[in-house]
């Protein structure tokens, strides 16, 4: 059973083919691959704390002929943990990431640090009342918006992320 439909979710964003994006906590690339296909003249940095999913993602990218994905082993809860330069990214994705991390503020701070002015962050996570998914660490979209606002981010719009997830699009000033 597929809980998330990346193409449907990404179609709600104003993507341009030459954008530079970062998929924070990319895992095996469930969103990285579809995003890289849309940003065919751009770059997608796939960042994860574990080597295994990054290796799997590299293999899939090669098999699909995608040369615009760059994998980075990094700890997003730490300052400069993405290893990306400041003001370098148009779009940061955080899909099913925040429920897993201790330092939610740190992850959002790191996303804001790498964003270009007016860059955007798409956060998707499990609804608190979803019968599926993890039981620990879930948070509401409202709590993420509050944390984001403390980092100087503003809510652009809510995203339809399906039955079991909520989504918000945030923007840096």
How many domains would you assign to the chain?
1
Cα-flanking dihedrals φ and ψ of residue 172, to 5°?
-80, 155
CATH code, domain with 36: 3.40.50.150
In a domain, 6, yes or no: no
Evaluate if residue 114 carries a pLDDT over 80.
yes
pTM of this prediction?
Answer: 0.96
Residue pLDDT, tens place only, 82-113: 999 999 999 999 999 999 999 999 999 999 99
DSSP category for residue 74 = -
**Weakest mean pLDDT among 6-20, 109-123, 126-140:** 126-140
Helices 141-150 and 104-114: crossing angle in degrees, nearest 10, is: 60
The pLDDT, as a whole number, for residue 140 is 95
Q: Residue 1: pLDDT above 50? A: no
Determine the structural domain holding residue 81 and report its residue range. 16-127+136-172
Establish if 100 belongs to a structural domain.
Answer: yes
Q: Please compute the mean of the pLDDT values over residues 134-142 and round it to a whole number.
A: 92
What is the spatial distance between Cα 97 and Cα 22, in angstroms, rounded to a whole number? Answer: 13
């Amino acid at each position: 059973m597929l809980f998330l439909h990346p193409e449907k979710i990404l179609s709600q964003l104003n993507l341009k083919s030459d954008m530079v994006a970062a998929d924070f906590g990319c895992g095996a690339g469930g969103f990285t691959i579809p995003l890289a296909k849309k940003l065919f003249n751009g770059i997608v940095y796939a960042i994860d704390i574990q080597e295994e999913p990054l290796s799997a993602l590299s293999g899939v990218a090669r098999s699909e002929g995608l040369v615009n994905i760059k994998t980075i082993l990094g700890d997003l809860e730490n300052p400069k943990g993405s290893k990306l330069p400041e003001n370098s990214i148009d779009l940061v994705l955080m899909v099913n990431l925040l429920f897993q991390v201790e330092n939610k503020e740190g992850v959002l701070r790191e996303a804001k640090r790498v964003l270009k002015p007016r860059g955007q962050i798409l956060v998707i996570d499990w609804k608190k009342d979803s019968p599926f998914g993890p039981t620990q660490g879930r948070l509401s979209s409202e709590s993420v918006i509050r944390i984001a606002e403390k980092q100087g981010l503003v809510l652009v719009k809510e995203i339809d992320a399906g039955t079991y997830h909520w989504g918000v699009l945030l923007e840096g000033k």
